[in-house]
C-alpha cells in the first residue's frame, strides 16, 4: 500500500510542540529526547521554568535560561501552521506515520520532511530497509558489486537507503530503480534542493518512484555540518548498513560506526590490500563487521536479523507513566554534564595538545572534550559556544583525524577505546 500523507492518529498539539522545540537554539535531537522523557510530553516541558529544566541531563542553568528566553518568541500552533504551509510533507515523532525504526535511536529527528511516495509498510518497519554507502570515487569493482548486491536485495524485497551523493550512493539508487525496487534518499539539504546538481535527474526519479527525506526545511542549502547529521538518519532507518568501498577517512565509515552504535548490523565488501578504497572496509572487517562473500551469503546473514519490535507512537515506548521522571522543584538543580565512563572500558587518552595545529573552532571543540571520561554532545555545545551543526561537523573531522571517539548516545571521549 503506497500512500502520500502524514498518517493517521495524529496528536496535533504534541506535533506543534515537536516543531516548536526544534526551533529552539541549543536543543538538538539528543537533548530534546531527554526533555521529552523527563516531562512526559513536550507540551508539559514547554511551560517548564528554567529551574525545572535543569532537571534534564545536559541542561545547566545558563542553557535553561537561554531556552526560556528563546521560547518567548515562539507560538507553537502558529509555527506549526507556518511549517505546514511551506513544508506540506513532514512528520514528527507524534505522528503515526513517523518511521518507527527512527524511534529506536537516541537522537531521532524532531521534524522529518519528505517528498515522493510514502510506503507505510516501510515506515512501520514491516518492509526491511538496508543502507548502502561508500566512496564518491568507486573502482569498477565497487560499481559492479554495488549493482549486483542491489539487484539481489531488491529482488528479495529490501528497500535500499542511501544519501544521493556521487559514487556508490548514486549507483545504489540508480540500480534499485532499474530493478524496479524501492529506494529512499536521505539528503543534507531541503527536499526541494538537489545536491549535487549532477544527480538532478536521478533525484527526480527517486521522487517519482521512491522517497526523499531530510531533517532540514524546504530551501535549506547544502552545508558541511548537515552531512554527518544526515548519516545518522541513514543508519537509523535501516536494519543493517553495507559499506562497499571506503578509504580510511571516508564518511561512510562514520555511517557504519553509527549503525553499530545503534545496535544494527554492519557488512563490508572485502577488497585488495593494494587498493586504498578497500582499506576502510578491511578495517571494518578486522573490527568485527560481517564480510560479504557472495550475494547468497549476504541474504543468509540478513535473514538472521531479528524483527525489530518498534513502538507505534513515540510516547508508547518511553512513557508508560508520562511525567513520572519529573518532580517540580523550587530550587535550581543543574545537572552534571559529564557522564562517568564504564568501569569495564579502558580509555586511552591524553591531555596533550594534538600533534598538528587545529583551526580555532576545531581547537575549541577539542578542548571541550574531557581527557579522562565521556561527555555528552550537548555539554560540548554548551562549553564551546558554537552552533550545534558546526560543532557536530567539527567533531566528525576530529574523529576522522583520530583525536576523538564517539560512543553510543552521542557521547564523546579523547583517544580510542581498547
Confidence of residue 325 (pLDDT cuts 50, 70, 90): very low
Summarised one tens digit per residue, pLDDT across range 184-236 is 999 999 999 999 999 999 999 999 999 999 999 989 998 888 888 899 999 99
Summarised one tens digit per residue, pLDDT across range 62-109 is 999 999 999 999 999 999 999 888 877 999 999 999 999 999 998 999
Identify whether residues 262 and 190 lie together within a single domain.
Answer: yes
Identify whether residues 25 and 86 lie together within a single domain.
Answer: yes
Identify whether residues 82 and 33 lie together within a single domain.
Answer: yes
Identify whether residues 342 and 293 lie together within a single domain.
Answer: no
Parallel, antiparallel or unpaired: strands 374-376 and 411-414: antiparallel
| 314 occurs within a structural domain | no
> How large a percentage of the chain has pLDDT more than 70?
82
> ∠ CA 411-416-418 to the nearest 5 degrees?
110
Confidence of residue 394 (pLDDT cuts 50, 70, 90): confident
| 77 occurs within a structural domain | yes
The CATH number of whichever domain residue 354 belongs to comes to 1.10.10.10
Instruction: Supply the DSSP string of 217-276, one letter for each residue.
Output: -TTPPP-TTHHHHHHHHHHHH-SEEEE----TT-HHHHHHHHHHHTT-EEEE----TT-G
Please state the domain count of the chain. 3
Identify whether residues 14 and 130 lie together within a single domain.
Answer: no
Summarised one tens digit per residue, pLDDT across range 108-155 is 999 999 999 998 878 887 889 999 999 999 999 999 999 999 999 999
Summarised one tens digit per residue, pLDDT across range 244-263 is 999 998 989 999 999 999 99
Cis peptide leading into residue 52 (ω within 30°): no
How confident is the model at residue 1, as a pLDDT?
33
Provide the residue range defining the domain that includes 361. 338-417
Whole-prediction pTM? 0.74
The dihedral formed by the CA atoms of 91, 95, 97 and 102, expressed in degrees to the nearest 10: 70
Identify whether residues 77 and 175 lie together within a single domain.
Answer: no
In the predicted model, is pLDDT for residue 352 greater than 80?
Answer: no
The total number of residues written for the chain in this structure: 418
Amino acid at each position: 500500500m503506497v500512500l502520500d500523507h502524514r498518517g493517521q492518529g495524529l496528536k496535533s498539539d504534541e506535533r506543534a510542540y515537536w516543531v516548536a522545540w526544534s526551533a529552539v537554539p541549543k536543543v538538538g535531537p539528543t537533548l530534546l529526547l531527554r526533555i521529552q522523557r523527563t516531562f512526559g510530553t513536550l507540551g508539559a516541558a514547554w511551560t517548564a521554568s528554567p529551574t525545572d529544566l535543569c532537571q534534564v541531563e545536559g541542561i545547566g542553568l545558563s542553557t535553561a535560561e537561554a531556552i526560556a528566553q528563546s521560547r518567548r518568541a515562539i507560538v507553537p500552533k502558529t509555527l506549526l501552521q507556518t511549517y505546514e504551509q511551506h513544508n506540506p510533507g513532514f512528520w514528527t515523532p507524534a505522528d503515526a506515520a513517523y518511521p518507527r525504526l527512527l524511534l529506536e535511536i537516541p537522537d531521532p529527528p524532531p521534524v522529518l520532511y519528505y517528498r515522493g511516495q510514502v510506503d507505510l509498510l516501510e515506515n512501520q518497519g514491516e518492509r526491511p530497509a538496508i543502507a548502502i554507502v561508500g566512496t564518491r570515487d568507486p573502482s569498477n569493482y565497487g560499481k559492479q558489486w554495488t549493482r549486483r548486491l542491489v539487484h539481489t536485495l531488491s529482488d528479495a524485497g529490501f528497500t535500499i537507503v542511501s544519501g544521493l551523493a556521487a559514487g556508490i550512493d548514486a549507483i545504489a539508487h540508480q540500480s534499485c530503480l532499474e530493478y524496479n525496487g524501492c529506494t529512499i534518499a536521505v539528503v543534507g539539504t531541503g527536499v526541494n534542493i538537489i545536491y549535487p546538481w549532477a544527480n538532478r535527474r536521478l533525484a527526480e526519479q527517486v521522487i517519482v518512484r521512491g522517497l526523499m527525506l531530510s531533517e532540514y526545511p524546504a530551501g535549506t542549502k547544502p552545508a558541511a555540518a548537515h552531512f554527518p547529521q544526515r548519516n545518522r538518519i541513514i543508519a537509523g532507518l535501516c536494519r543493517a548498513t553495507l559499506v562497499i568501498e571506503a578509504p580510511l577517512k571516508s564518511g561512510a565509515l562514520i555511517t557504519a560506526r553509527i549503525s553499530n552504535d545503534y545496535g544494527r548490523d554492519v557488512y563490508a565488501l572485502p577488497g585488495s590490500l593494494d587498493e586504498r578504497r578497500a582499506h576502510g572496509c578491511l578495517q571494518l572487517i578486522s573490527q568485527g563487521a560481517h564480510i560479504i562473500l557472495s550475494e547468497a551469503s549476504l541474504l543468509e546473514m540478513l535473514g538472521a536479523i531479528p524483527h525489530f519490535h518498534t513502538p507505534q507512537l513515540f510516547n508508547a515506548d518511553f512513557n508508560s507513566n508520562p511525567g513520572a521522571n519529573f518532580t517540580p522543584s523550587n530550587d535550581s538543580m543543574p545537572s552534571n554534564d559529564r557522564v562517568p565512563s564504564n568501569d569495564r572500558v579502558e580509555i586511552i587518552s591524553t591531555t596533550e595538545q594534538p600533534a598538528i595545529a587545529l583551526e580555532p573552532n576545531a581547537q575549541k571543540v577539542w578542548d571541550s572534550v574531557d581527557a579522562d571520561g565521556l561527555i555528552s554532545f550537548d555539554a560540548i555545545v554548551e562549553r564551546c559556544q558554537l552552533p550545534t551543526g558546526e560543532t557536530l561537523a567539527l567533531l566528525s573531522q576530529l574523529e576522522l583525524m583520530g583525536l576523538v571517539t564517539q560512543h553510543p548516545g552521542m557521547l564523546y571521549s579523547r583517544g580510542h577505546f581498547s
